[in-house]
Amino acid sequence: MDHPDILSTMQFGYPTNDYLEHELDYNSVNHPVIEGHPNEDIFGSEIKNTSSYFMDEKGQAVHTENIRDYLTEVVGVVFYEAK
């Protein structure tokens, strides 16, 4: 049985380097941004001076505690649990 990622790569080629931009955004989250940060994220969670958050490509703030909600509702990711 072949792995689906290998079959996809064989069919469509290697992915572009666009995914590295998300890593750059992640690194910018770890630096404290105090002045001018948003008061709440798109889910209504308060963002304090000590909170970690990221900005998506639309400029919307997302608290890191809501990353699963963001991935599910905005990006469309489906999570599975192996049993």
What string of pLDDT tens digits covers the 83 residues of the chain? 688 888 888 888 776 665 555 555 555 555 444 456 678 889 999 888 788 888 888 888 999 999 999 999 999 999 999 98
Q: Which tokens belong to 37?
A: 């940060």
Asked whether residue 83 is domain-assigned, the answer is no
Q: Report yes or no on 14 lying in a domain.
A: yes
Domain of residue 24 covers 4-75
CA-CA distance, 39 to 48, in Å (whole number)?
A: 7
Structure tokens at 71: 């991935």
Alpha helices in 13-78 (DSSP H): 20-29, 67-70
Q: Is the residue at 82 inside a domain? A: no
Q: What's the structural domain count of the chain?
A: 1
What does pTM read for this prediction? 0.53
> Residue 78's pLDDT is what?
93
Q: Are 60 and 80 in contact (CB under 8 A)?
A: no
Residue 80 is assigned to a structural domain of this protein: no
